[in-house]
Structure 1
Amino acid sequence: MTHETDFHDDSRTVGETPEMATSVTGPQFEPTHERALTPAVGPARDVDGFVRQFLRELNYTQGVPLSRSTLNDQYLALARTVRHYLMQGWIRTGKRRRDAGDKVIGYLSAEYLLGRQLDNALLAAGLEDIAREAMKECGLDVDLLRSQEIEPGLGNGGLGRLAACFVDSLATMDVSCIGYGIRYEYGIFKQTFEDGRQVEVPDSWLALGSPWEFPQPDRAVQIDFGGHTERYTGDDGRERTRWVPAWDVQAVPYHLLVPGYRNGVVNTLRLWSAKATNAFDLQLFNQGDYAEAVRAQTFAENITKVLYPEDSTPQGRELRLQQQYFFVAASIKDFIRHTLPADFDLHRLPERIAFQLNDTHPVIAIPELMRILVDEHDFEWDEAWDVTKQCFDYTCHTLLPEALEVWPVDLLGRLLPRHLEIVYRLNEDFLARVREQFDGDEVRARRMSMVQENPVRAIRMAHLATVAATKVNGVAELHSQLLRDKVLPDFSEMWPDKFTNVTNGVTPRRFVRIANPGMSELVTEAIGEGWLTDLERLRELEPFADDAAFRERFRAVKAGNKERLRQLLHHRDGIDLPEGHLLDVMVKRLHEYKRQSLKLLHVVSLYQRLLSDEVDPESTTPRTVVFGAKAAPGYFMAKETIALINAVAATIDADERVAGRLAIAFPANYNVTLAETLIPAADLSEQISLAGKEASGTGNMKFALNGALTIGTDDGANVEIRQLVGDDNFFLFGMTEPRVAELQAKGYVPGDVYASSPRLKSAIDFLASGEATGGDPSRAAAVVDDLLSSDRFMALADFDAYVEAQEKVEATYADTEAWTRSAILNVARSGFFSSDRSMRDYLDRIWNVSARS
């Protein structure tokens, strides 16, 4: 069958069938007739129907025949074809939920790290085989087209990746959810290296088109900023306050479809883009003042220009606050105006929405809802507060005090004057309650106040969120306990029932089925279908750990995954990974508490040993260490650590004495797409943060689910991973959180640790001398000086224990059968870490909503 076309060649391949005739703009619009909701809507679910729709998209949307189309044309047409198949489910899901009056989960998150969409959409819709065969009939390779997709980098790390996993699970469980966020024109920067140092390049993810989104400008809402407030007397004789803004922008929604796994459910991710209300001044343009004529447009669009603008300047801090208010204000207005029925009684708002605050970024939503209820809908203050408190829940993702946002009062008052007044009054009411409950304890009141007095007067957003939220949760058992005991202890004493735990999880659809097809096929052969939506069924794999034939096949899958990674890194980065090595992987955001410096010290120590006469190089385990990390643009020590890792990597790579025994690979621009190939190839997962500093981690879960063994501290979700997989299948080292606190209280002196550990002293001296950095000691100076003078996250204190644990790693890896058995048991016992389970916990413990599946 031939499908080569010019526009007029074959009307069948480009003509519109009755099934294609439905035009939709979103689930809020009713179809013109009920037939639009029958299974006949959309192209036929067979190869020929897929080909017809693909060529229609290519011809009529891209405007080219197949014979003259580019790879990008073909990819865009394929993506839109798949989206067309999802639209039927989107319309049906929206209508069903409107008719039922479902309570909606409004997931408010400043980040969504979605990854590539094509693979996930094909999997969810059950179109993988049809699409592959259809592209083959058109003379195209679906794998080549998949590689054209640019993932939207709308997040910084685990927070955004978690949000993407959660909305995936809610769709798969048929829970009504709208994910709300920001459509950044430039996502997290593209990382490159120049002389080993990180250089940030704009992430132009929209440059070649974004086929998965569609705008709806008729649902734009106005967002106000600045100005002042004024008192006035209402028609009812009551004194009221109104906000008189100084300027405003338009928030335009862009929709992305979030399909559930093969259940026909399609939820919505609504991302907001800022546009000027009056974008163009024709008079100024005609006078020749072209820059001023479009100044309003430039100013407005800056709000959603880039993910997390550098906030070391006052302008950057203000832009961040603008971003946060912009997207939550748009989301609340959109829900009230366009999702609820026109005559809905807002006193019943908690029956229809649960807004989940994903960290402190969206917390300004709390005074915004109060403003809407009191100022725009004439609620009494107390009844507005009662409604507001029932609408919000708060997830805290950190244990680091500096990560709990505070906004200076002068900035908040200048940008959002009415909201500052509301926070002040909420704080007065709250502190009155604190004083009443705790016998006038003013010291406690100052600690708990939403208003920080020093070093500058500022609003503590975590305190505001905790006071307002129905529930406050941490993201791992240890994190939630430390949240209660150390981060927010006064609040947990006041409201012990408000605090709960929901351990994070990851979606097995993307991070097992898509990322690791070989292992997925092996698992399905062993235990049957159904485990992708019931991941606890992986427990059925346990007996296979003792099956020699299964272990051999498991190793073959891992070897295939390593080969896939070798090919990717060769073509993507020019990196040639050695064969036959233990693949030791540490990929995560570059932060001192995650302790990439500790891993580097270990590598330096291994390098020294290989150069010495104390061991036979042939008796050591060949090892390749893979780093993947981005540092925040203004984070000096993190960027120095990246530069040092690359300098050591270059030295080792150039040293023929260790060739084939030790290597470092640091591919630039680690992202979700790279993770999907790297994680299934890993043998060893590095989760070595200082105990008590990592909230949860989700990379640790992905590695375990893909058959890597973990070396880690008892921190974050490592604790639960170790408990589930067993001590024999986890390499534990390092201080516990109480021991860390004890040592810090006594006064930690890194120089004493350095002097007392010969192996540590040797590694640091080797670095400081320049021998590990191509003869240039300056490359290591900043990191070495910081470790010896401060070592805030105690890498030196855990070094000896870490080296001992790595020696156990080598001994275990030398026993191939024992290592494979442990790897299989890691997979079998990690089903708990599905984001589906996380969502069930949120539904049961926090939202009081039932899933349909």
Structure 2
Amino acid sequence: MAPRTSKSAPASTNRTPTTAGTAAEHASPYRDHLALDQVVPAEAATPRERFEALARTLRDAIAPNWLKTRALQDSANPKRVYYLSMEFLIGRTLVNNIINMRAESLAQEALAPAPETTWRELIEQEPDAGLGNGGLGRLAACYIDSLATLHIPAMGYGLRYDYGIFRQGIENGQQVEHPDPWLAHSDPWEVVRCGESVSVPIACSFELEHGVLRAVSGGSSRLMGTPYDRPVVGYGGETVNTLRLWKASAPDEFDFREFSGGDFVGAVVDQIVAESVTRVLYPDDSTNAGQALRFVQEYFLVCCSLGDIVARFRKQNKDWQQLPEKVAIQLNDTHPAIAVAELMRLLLDEAHLSWETAWDLTVRTLAYTNHTLLPEALEKWPVRFFERVCPRHLELIYEINRRFLDDVRARYPGDEGRIERMSLVEEGHGRLIRMAHLAIVGSHSVNGVARIHSELLRTRVVSDFAEMYPDRFNNKTNGVTPRRWIQQANPELARLLNATIGDTWLTDLSQLQGLAARADDPKFQEEFRAAKRGAKERFAEWVRTTTGQEVDPTTLFDCQIKRIHEYKRQLLNVLHIVVLYSQLRDNPDLAMPRRTFFFAGKAAPAYRLAKLIIKLINDVARAVDADPRTRDRIRVVFLPNYNVTLAERLIPAADVSEQISTAGYEASGTGNMKFMMNGALTIGTRDGATIEMAEQAGEENLFLFGLTAQQVAESRGWYDPRWHYENEPETRRALDLVFGNHFSPAEPGIYEPIREALLTHGDYFMHLADLTAYAEAHRRIGEVYADPREWTRRAILNVARSGLFSSDRAIAEYAADIWSAEPCLA
């Protein structure tokens, strides 16, 4: 059965379903859940109770196809894909499942007993799942959606974090981290599978010493991984795959004898240790304890997942030689790289295969996606972590390395420099295991996530490996799901697309190219502008009600929403705002469109400079708003606690998308794709997927600027940021305002670390080198925005030519080129 489609308006956060009579007029599963689970009549239910009842009703509707999918796949015994990721940034689930199941009538019924309860109030009861942080996790969420939509047998594996990363607050302009208790209420989507728990050995024990947990060598302990399953509904609802999340616990909750003897804390020490493993996403790794916990998290994820995968394989297949024919394991970035050693351990120690056979099966089963060119993200773990936690895996890594380096020596005799560069073990002060090297050596496929990223990975970052294994390296440009990022996030645009070209774009985004013929049509342009206007007005109202800030929806909305990092260059953005601020103070009548600059994103708790950039953004915002010469011309708004739901609100409203990373540092960027397919124009460097976006839409329909990746690389060694300070008056004036305490009169000198990064330590990410070109690109934006017809034409062409960036296309390429996986349908 093909996925069902409909030209009716989709359910969304911005649409209130109409009611069709009251629930009192007929019995319903929804009313049953209110009565039996919540023990309340529908008329008296709170919004949270109504949300849970609706979610459970929808899960009831999903369950038959969830069971049918499992039974069909068990019967057919196809090749299955297993996607291992430390993050799955799935956002909210209710509306997404309603859309994919085409179950709008359930939402209509939920509102019927109390029409005054708005649809938005109901769905606001669901928190964003605290299972990810940024693009890596959101990509994983899009990919499992597409796997189910394309009917590919697949499971996602991750960790069930109690608190996610953190809830971001802003106090005096500074980021403050708070716990994110997303599981404060029961999660109606998950199903706990206690009978499928996995035991994970740890080669040390733990004790409390003066209130501090300490690992003790010579002992041993175990973690239990309990799976929590969530349905992943493909569009049309026919295929329902599974996202399996592991929660850590101790085999016994407490030592009864110790407790009875009065050692109340010591009796639960194992449980304290175990629960810490899945307490938070990405513990602060600026400390040794935080690094060790991160290592244990990755080890725990891999052991639980591979144990489960192998058990599933053995349930239907007795011949180990079939493993690569039935199992494809994709490592989403370097975090799960220890899977190479764990799969070898299972094949050697439990299946008792020979080394040669085990290694052949391992390499043909595993594939590795690299998501970064930054050295700090190509993880290296101290040998002592392996010795303390999993010494058998260290033995296997040493043996893998010995055999691998023998191959390198045989191919490149006498090249000891190459041996040192390629070794899985980095010698020096404290030996380190190079996890990216392990993933490359132990996988049959290594892919980057945009064409330029894949090329730089192959030619610069791991060029020795690409030379030795040229057939392993390939590119798979990222994509995002249009079901979430157009239909759900932007219902007015979705309705316009349906009315104009039909609704087949939902599962074939290339159909958007049919819009190109309408780009100059005045009627279609007006309808397109009306959809954008509606999104901007809704977002402005949301900002007012949630933050108290007034933003004018008639201004140009300029948006940079992403993790705060020097290479992503939020600092470049705010320095340009300071340039505009300075110009407007001198000339309040300066010809330029009225702009609202939106920032959102979290900085890692230990990343002091990134947190200082957030402080600068907020200080500049206050100064701009306080000055009568600038407050009506520009606004700066930092939106705290960036998450999927915030992105769903802001992206449809954006006029300009900021993709301004230092060229050669952004692997892909998927936010840029979401903005593009929602009609925002990109200002960006030639980096990541922006290059491919420009090829699709035409460079004339983006605003590109700045150094190329090659120019950035060639400037190392001679680039002097002070030249720009001394020779570019606008640059000098902006920096003098920042470092002269204009924006921080009560905190003089607070921005000294930024001054040092830019002017003393060489401006590694080339902010000043690109500032003048960036300002010129913004000037061009102002000129085009002054012509609504021309701006709208370019926006329509961006939407029309965004089809390449569907996650359905990306997953189809993975399935054909890497996994050799095919759809499984009745």
TM-score by length of 2: 0.94
2:775 aligned with 1:799: no
The Cα shift of 1:283 comes to 2.3
Between 674-683 and 455-464, report the one with greater CA deviation: 455-464
The question of 1:252 aligning with 2:247 is answered no
Matches of 1:809 and 1:673 in 2, distance apart?
A: 28
Q: Compared with structure 1, are the counterparts of its residues 51 and 336 closer, same or farther at alpha carbon in structure 2 (3 Å cutoff)? A: farther
Q: C-alpha deviations, 1:400-436, integer Å up to 9, x for none?
A: 1111000111111111100000000000000000111
Is contact 2:331-2:367 (8 Å) kept? yes
Which 5+ residue runs of structure 2 have no aligned equivalent?
1-21, 206-216
C-alpha distance in structure 2 between counterparts of 1:748 and 1:409, whole Å: 37
Post-superposition offset of 1:130:
4.0
Cα deviations by residue, 1:336-360 (Å, 9 ceiling, x for unpaired): 2245426622231111111000011
Report the number of matched residues.
791
Query: Of 392, 396, 406, which residue of structure 1 is paired with 2:380?
Result: 406
1:371 matched to 2:348: no
* 3-state SS, counterpart of residue 656 of structure 1: coil
Alignment of 1:38-437 (within 5 A): 52-137=28-113, 139=115, 140-227=117-204, 246-338=220-312, 340-341=314-315, 344-437=318-411
Mark the CA change 1:49 to 1:222 in structure 2 (over 3 Å): closer, same or farther.
farther
Residue 104 of structure 2 aligns with an amino acid whose one-letter code is E
Q: Does the aligned pair in 2 maintain the 1:50–1:131 contact within 8 Å?
A: no
Q: Alignment partner of 1:153: what SS?
A: coil
Answer whether contact 2:536 2:653 (CA < 8 A) is retained. Answer: yes
Superposed CA RMSD: 1.8
Distance 1:694 1:51, change over 3 A: farther
**Structure-1 separation of matches of 2:747 and 2:348:** 64
Match of 1:540 among 514, 523, 530: 514
Query: d(CA) in 2 for partners of 1:292 and 1:69?
Result: 43
Partner of 2:596: 624
1:731/1:809 contact within 8 Å kept = yes
Aligned equivalents of 1:444, 1:47: Cα separation in 2: 72
State the Cα distance separating 1:169 from its structure 2 match.
0.2
Quote the residue 2:213 is aligned against: none
Residue pair 1:105, 1:356 contacting (<8 A) in 2 also: yes
Contact 1:767/1:777, CA 8 A, preserved across alignment = no
Change (3 A) 1:770 1:170: same
Which of 739, 743, 763 lines up with 1:772 in the alignment? 743
Which piece of structure 1 moves more, 60-69 or 145-154?
Answer: 60-69
For residue 845 of structure 1, report the CA deviation from its aligned partner: 1.5
Q: Secondary structure at the match of 1:631?
A: coil
Question: How many angstroms apart in 2 are the aligned matches of 1:76 and 1:427?
Answer: 52
- Return the alpha-carbon distance in structure 2 between the equivalents of residues 48 and 106 of structure 1: 45
- Does the 8 A contact of 1:604 with 1:772 survive in 2? no
Compute the displacement of 1:67 (Å): 4.0
For residue 503 of structure 1, the aligned residue among 477, 488, 492 is 477
1:836 is aligned to 808
Tell whether 2:684 aligns with 1:703: no
Contact 1:710 1:730 in 2 (8 A): yes
2:552, 2:743 → 1: CA distance?
Answer: 21
Q: Is the 8 A contact 1:843 1:849 kept in 2?
A: yes
Distance 1:343 1:598, change over 3 A: closer
1:336–1:91: structure 2 CA closer, same or farther, 3 Å change rule? same
* Residue among 734, 758, 763 paired with 1:787: 758
In structure 2, the residue matched to 1:22 is none
Equivalent residue for 1:812? 784
Amino acid at match of 1:653: D
Q: CA separation in 1, counterparts of 2:54 and 2:758?
A: 52
* Higher mean displacement: 348-357 or 168-177: 348-357
**3-state secondary structure, aligned to 1:294:** helix
Aligned partners of 1:755, 1:483: CA distance in 2, in Å? 36
* Equivalent pair of 1:450/1:464 in contact (CA under 8 Å): yes
Change (3 A) 1:823 1:59: same
Q: Deviations over 1:608-664 (max 9, x none)?
A: 111003x624x3210110000100000010011111111111111122222221110
Which amino acid in structure 2 is aligned with residue 264 of structure 1?
E
Looking at structure 1, the residues matched to 224 and 61 of structure 2 have their Cα atoms a distance apart, in angstroms, of 31
Structure 1 equivalent of residue 728 of structure 2: 757
Is 1:671 aligned to 2:643, yes or no?
yes
Q: What amino acid is aligned across from residue 713 of structure 1 in structure 2?
A: T
Identity of aligned residues (%): 47
Please say which of residues 631-640 and 67-76 is displaced more in the overlay: 67-76
Gaps of 5+ in 1: 1-45, 229-242
Shift of 1:455: 4.1
Distance 1:731 1:47 in 2: 53
- Cα deviation for residue 63 of structure 1 reads 2.7
Amino acid at match of 2:782: E
Correspondences of 1:481-520 after superposition (within 5 Å): 481-520=455-494
Match of residue 848 from structure 1? 820
**Pair 1:686 & 2:663 matched:** no
Shift of 1:51: 6.1
How far residue 850 of structure 1 moved from its aligned partner, in angstroms, is 2.3
Q: Aligned partners of 1:134, 1:277: CA distance in 2, in Å? A: 41
User: Which residue pairs with 1:35 in the alignment?
Assistant: none
Give me the whole-angstrom Cα distance separating, in 2, the residues matched to 1:159 and 1:531: 25
Do the aligned partners of 1:687 and 1:713 also contact (CA within 8 Å) in 2? yes
Deviation per residue, 1:446-496 (Å, 9 max, x gap):
111111113431110111111111110000000000000001100111111
What SS does the aligned partner of 1:585 have?
Answer: strand
Q: Structure 1 residues 729-738 or 127-136, which shifts more?
A: 127-136
Shift of 1:439: 2.2
Structure 1, 81-90 or 781-790: larger mean CA deviation: 781-790
CA distance in structure 2 between the aligned counterparts of 1:443 and 1:47, rounded to whole angstroms: 75
Decide which moves more: 355-364 or 70-79.
Answer: 70-79
Q: 2:214 maps to what in 1?
A: none
**Residue of structure 2 in register with 1:529 after alignment:** 503
User: What residue is the counterpart of 2:450 in the other structure?
Assistant: 476
Matched position secondary structure for 2:342: helix
The alpha-carbon distance between structure 1 residues 285 and 750, as it changes in their structure 2 partners (threshold 3 A), is same
Letter in 2 for 1:813: Y
- Aligned partners of 1:721, 1:326: CA distance in 2, in Å? 38
Residues 733-748 of structure 1 aligned to structure 2 (within 5 Å):
733-744=705-716, 746-748=717-719
Return the letter of the residue paired with 1:460: R
The answer to whether structure 1 residue 467 and structure 2 residue 411 are counterparts is: no
Is contact 2:65-2:239 (8 Å) kept? Answer: yes
Q: Which residue number corresponds to residue 39 of structure 1? A: none
Q: Deviations over 1:181-212 (max 9, x none)?
A: 00001102000011111000001000022111
Larger deviation, residues 99-108 vs 284-293: 284-293
Paired letter, 2:200: I
Residue identity matched to 1:833: F
User: Which position in structure 2 is the counterpart of 1:451?
Assistant: 425
The one-character-per-residue Cα deviations of 1:352-384 (angstroms, maximum 9, x if unpaired) are 111000011001111011111111121111111
Q: Which residue identity lines up with residue 680 of structure 1 in the other structure? A: P
CA contact (8 A) 1:701 1:833 kept: yes
- For 2:189 and 2:24, the matched residues in 1 are separated by 23
TM-score calculated relative to the size of structure 1: 0.91
Alpha-carbon separation, structure 2, partners of 1:687 and 1:540: 26
Structure-1 residue corresponding to 2:10: none
- Contact preservation (8 Å) 1:48, 1:134: no
Residue of structure 2 in register with 1:36 after alignment: none
Between the aligned partners of 1:707 and 1:742, the Cα distance in structure 2 is 35
Change (3 A) 1:296 1:625: same
Deviation per residue, 1:123-143 (Å, 9 max, x gap)? 011012442244224544333
Seen in structure 2, the aligned counterparts of structure 1 residues 667 and 370 have a Cα distance that, compared at 3 Å, is same
2:625 pairs with 1:649: no
The secondary structure found in structure 2 opposite 1:798 is helix
Q: Is the 8 A contact 2:92 2:645 kept in 1?
A: yes
2:769 is paired with a residue whose SS is coil
